[in-house]
Each structure stands twice: as structure tokens, then as C-alpha cells.
Amino acid sequence: MFRKLYENRKEITNILFLIYIIAVLSLTFVVRETMVFRTPHNRGVVTEPFRELQAMIEQPDHFFWFMQIALNVLLFIPFGFLLPCVSRYFRSSMAIVASGFMFSGFIETMQYITGRGLTEVDDIITNTTGAAIGAVIYWAAVVVKEKHRKEGILL
């Protein structure tokens, strides 16, 4: 069974990436309409960088702002990890981070156009950070895999 999974790893990775993209788009557009703390059809734009970080430090509800930042970072870690697995053209760290930046920018632009949620520079910064962390995890996995390959251990 594991050999079959190993042989089909490319197809499995492609399917996982597609599911991930659908989940991100659903979270940022479909679910956004039902969230209590966001006003539907609000076309607000927040261009001040690190506003959420400043709010987390200054306001009494630190946990809310921490979660805003942490969840945006966590949301894009799989992007940075899976993208180079799906296409060899995205194996450089710069390509991964640039793609994360563009995908995040696309989401924020579409949120503005559709009026679902706020368009925030902080989201682009934190999402891009998540993609960069995912790239680091990918490259760490490549190093471990290469080390095990040299030792004759199949991963």
C-alpha cells in the first residue's frame, strides 16, 4: 500500500495543492460573508503596514489580534511547502515567496472587488511570511530527504 502511495506521490501532491487552494479561496470569500466581526460588502482598505501588530500591543484584546496575525501566517505555510512540490519552476525561495505575495495580493484585490472583508496590507505581509516559512520547511525536508537518500533510506 505504501509503495503505491509513493509511486503516486506527484498526483497526490497535486490533489492536495488543489484542495488547499480551494480551501483558502473558500475561507477568504465564502466564509467571509458569514463572519460576525466583518461587515458584508465592506470595501474598507487598510494600507498602514503592521497595523494589526500595533493593535495587538496596544489594545486589551491581545489574543484576537494575535490570532489574526498567526492565522494569516499559518494559512500560507502550506502554499510555500506545496508549490515547489507541484512544479519544479517554483523551487527557488524567491519564486515561492513572490508567488505567495502575488496569490495574497490576488485574494486582497478580489476581497476589495467583491466587498467581502477588508483589504489589508498586513494580510499580504503575513501571508507572504507564511509562504516564506513554508519554503524554509520545504528546503529543510529536501535536505533531510537527500541525507537519507545518501544513507540508503527511502523517503
Residue 91 lies in a domain: yes
pLDDT attached to residue 36: 39
Residue 32 lies in a domain: yes
Residue 44 lies in a domain: yes
In the chain, what is the straight-line distance between the N-terminal and C-terminal CA atoms, in Å? 15
Under the banding of pLDDT at 50, 70 and 90, the label for residue 123 is very high
Tens digits of per-residue pLDDT, 44-58?
777 777 787 777 777
Domain residues for the domain of 85 are 2-150
pLDDT attached to residue 34: 45
Which of these ranges, 5-9, 37-41, 110-114, 126-130, has the smallest mean pLDDT?
Answer: 37-41
- Mean pLDDT to the nearest integer, 60-64: 74
pLDDT attached to residue 73: 96
- pLDDT: which is higher, 91 or 56: 91
Report the predicted TM-score, pTM, of the whole model to 2 decimal places: 0.82
Residue 85 lies in a domain: yes
Q: Of 35, 40, 154, 145, which Cα lies nearest the Cα of 85?
A: 145
Residue 17 lies in a domain: yes
Residue 155 lies in a domain: no
Under the banding of pLDDT at 50, 70 and 90, the label for residue 153 is low
Residue 101 lies in a domain: yes
The domain tally of the chain equals: 1
Residue 94 lies in a domain: yes
Cα 80 from Cα 95, distance rounded (Å):
10
Cα 48 from Cα 59, distance rounded (Å):
17
